[in-house]
Amino acid sequence: MGEFELIRRFFDRPVRRSPLGVGDDCALLAPQPGMQLAVSSDMLVEGRHFLSTVDPRRLGHKALAVNLSDLAACGARPLAFSLSLALPHADPHWLAPFAEGLFALAEAHDCELVGGDTTRGPLCIAITVYGEVPAGQALLRSGARAGDDLWVSGTLGDARLALEIFRGRAQATAEVFVAARARMEQPEPRVSLGQALRGVATSAIDVSDGLLGDLAHVLDRSGVGASVDAPSAAGLLAAARAGYTAPAPQILELVLAGGDDYELAFTAPPAARQSVEEAGARTGTPVTRIGRVEAEPGLRVLDANGGLVPRSFAGFDHFA
Amino acid sequence: MGEFELIRRFFDRPVRRSPLGVGDDCALLAPQPGMQLAVSSDMLVEGRHFLSTVDPRRLGHKALAVNLSDLAACGARPLAFSLSLALPHADPHWLAPFAEGLFALAEAHDCELVGGDTTRGPLCIAITVYGEVPAGQALLRSGARAGDDLWVSGTLGDARLALEIFRGRAQATAEVFVAARARMEQPEPRVSLGQALRGVATSAIDVSDGLLGDLAHVLDRSGVGASVDAPSAAGLLAAARAGYTAPAPQILELVLAGGDDYELAFTAPPAARQSVEEAGARTGTPVTRIGRVEAEPGLRVLDANGGLVPRSFAGFDHFA
């Protein structure tokens, strides 16, 4: 199977919305008048972002999911994506389920493949997603203000728990492991919630490298600090709700520094609490208030009595 | 040096035109009213698209050049690009010249870096470029019509000659080798010519996998055939003009199937000959008429007497 047959067989699907899709030198996108185009790129490398044993269907899903999660964090509506793929060999038994997982998620979000590149090389998946957002309404990292509440969607830490179980550093029941593994391998980007938070949230980011590390980017760009309530945060590990037990500091570390969560962390003024709850309810997304933005720089984790919880964990850094 | 310092140090430059650049979950682009957004992605893998010994400055140039070449083939004006980079390690002695070559070309085309991703992994460079083109005016592969002339810009085959010299399969003087190597390592995308050909050319493609292979895509999508004049084509190898000698069939193969040229191959009606020449002159780009589009399907190479030149060479295919 040659390069062009590979593309034709697995990746060339007609476009419904874009003026031009796969098969020319460029694809063409036509955002609606008044819209800005939001673009984001994420690259996944074997052994770094996924294990070589991963189900290709789940990998196809995840490769797009982590990109859609960036659109979600900006409040953008997905339009299309490009896929650049380096493959050690053209194996239909891998490509078919990979494409199936990829397109299932793409169709669920009405996000069409418009182009990309295919080459031989160590397995590497580079996706760029395109979305649209009304001009001036994108959720940015720079909008958090002292006094805002700090919120997160869904649950946190379960993907990292699955990784720790794979590494033999944690143990759990089969039920807990299966659920945590699904979180690691098939994250659900919070696309609807992101759009529902336009005009409500003051800032947003998607949690990919660990909540505290990602939050630090928001605080840095917004010129503020924040405190996180440890008891609220500790309740966010789904596995703990399902019976997984570990010392409290380990649970907290999974939640605050786990990474690979693809939930949204966002800020909103206290006056918007009801709007945030409604946005969550309307999109079927749990939302939890876990702290507040403060004028004092830095990021503090506080126990139930308002005392500082010592912490040593940091966000994920590919080169640290 | 961590991931975020690496980005800050080498890749975070202020944007002048885009509403939002590097540093948030998404970048924001705002094409002018009436414009469509042209997007294209190309991935370069070490050992496949470049040698590990390549000067990183030239590699930075080439990684963007091959993407700009796709915008050129659509007649789009460059706006911005995203860079996803997998690196074995964060080496400033490699990153500094890589960024220098990349940004020198970017600035020459007023194309700003707006985002991307950085991770550890086998060296792999995935770029997506964004350009704008007036709605309905993009040059497509599908517009060639029987009777059109077939044109190419610049010279062809020199990049492949350099590769053959590297592989020990060809020999040349130092002067010829240096020039051919520059063609391989620092192609100049025909961005101005592409834009000048809007409304003049009926179809266009950039020559990356070899002229005949790329031309076949145009013929396929346009539902036509073509014949190429071997004597006109043979004159396109710059090295031959500089004294490189080889049997005529080898010269012809370099030109017709070399690859890595990043010239434009395009079609235009005979009535537009003067307009094509003017577009070339205005943008300082040599243009050569090398054949014609015909109703009869297939691609024929003809000698000076109109006889068929037998050929065995094919375009480059990463999985063939």
- Tell if the CB–CB gap between A43 and B3 is shorter than 8 Å: no
pLDDT(B318) > 60: no
pLDDT(B5) > 90: no
Contact of A212 with A315, CB cutoff 8 Å? yes
How far, in Å, CA of B161 to CA of B298, rounded?
27
Please name the residues in contact with A53: beta carbons below 8 A apart, sequence gap of 6 or more: none
Q: How far is CA A78 from the centre of its chain?
A: 14
Q: Determine the average pLDDT of the residues in B266-283.
A: 98
Which pLDDT score, from 0 to 100, does residue A137 have?
96
Q: Do the bridges between strand A298-302 and strand B35-45 make them parallel or antiparallel, or are there none, so unpaired?
A: unpaired
Per the model's pLDDT, the better-predicted residue between B195 and B309 turns out to be: B195
Please name the residues in contact with A48: beta carbons below 8 A apart, sequence gap of 6 or more: A318, B86, B119, B120, B121
Residue B118 forms contact with A (CB below 8 Å): yes
Structural domains in chain A, sorted by start: 3-134 (3.30.1330.10), 141-302 (3.90.650.10)
Per the model's pLDDT, the better-predicted residue between A50 and B146 turns out to be: B146
Please report, in range form, the residues annotated as the binding site of A for Mg(2+). 25, 40-42, 70, 117, 206, 209
Please name the residues in contact with A293: beta carbons below 8 A apart, sequence gap of 6 or more: A144, A145, A146, A147, A148, A149, A150, A219, A222, A224, A225, A226, A267
Which pLDDT score, from 0 to 100, does residue B207 have?
96
Per the model's pLDDT, the better-predicted residue between B320 and A302 turns out to be: A302
Q: Give the tens place of pLDDT for each residue, B8-53.
A: 889 988 898 899 999 889 999 998 889 999 999 999 999 888 888 8
- Measuring CA to CA, how many Å separate A246 from each of A156, A235, A316, B128? 15, 13, 22, 44
Which pLDDT score, from 0 to 100, does residue B52 have?
84
Which pLDDT score, from 0 to 100, does residue A1 have?
79
Percent of chain B topping pLDDT 70: 97
pLDDT(B320) > 60: no
Find, in chain A, the residue whose alpha carbon is nearest to that of B80: A39
Coil/strand/helix, residue B293: strand
Residue A32 forms contact with B (CB below 8 Å): no
Task: For A82-96, give one letter per residue: b (16+ CB within 10 A) or e.
Answer: bbbbbbeebeeebbe
Please name the residues in contact with B278: beta carbons below 8 A apart, sequence gap of 6 or more: none
Q: pLDDT 10s per residue in chain A (320 long)?
A: 788 888 888 998 889 889 999 988 999 999 888 999 999 999 999 988 888 889 999 999 999 999 999 999 999 999 999 999 999 999 999 999 999 999 999 999 999 999 999 999 999 999 999 999 999 999 999 999 999 999 999 999 999 999 999 989 999 999 999 999 999 999 999 999 999 999 999 999 999 999 999 999 999 999 999 999 999 999 999 999 999 999 988 899 999 999 999 999 999 999 999 999 999 999 999 999 999 999 999 999 999 999 999 876 655 555 55
How far, in Å, CA of B78 to CA of B65, rounded?
11
How far, in Å, CA of B298 to CA of B66, rounded?
27
Neighbour order of strands in the sheet with A287-294: A203-207, A263-268, A149-153, A287-294, A225-229, A298-302
A residues 145-204 lying closer than 8 A (beta carbon) to B: 204
Please name the residues in contact with B112: beta carbons below 8 A apart, sequence gap of 6 or more: B13, B15, B16, B17, B18, B21, B79, B80, B81, B106
Q: Do the bridges between strand A124-134 and strand A77-87 make them parallel or antiparallel, or are there none, so unpaired?
A: antiparallel
Torsion, Cα of B133, B134, B135, B140 (10° steps): -50
User: Which of B28, B38, B205 is opposite residue A38, by nearest beta carbon?
Assistant: B28
- Measuring CA to CA, how many Å separate A129 from each of A38, A111, A195? 8, 9, 16
Which pLDDT score, from 0 to 100, does residue B316 have?
54
Mean pLDDT of chain B: 93
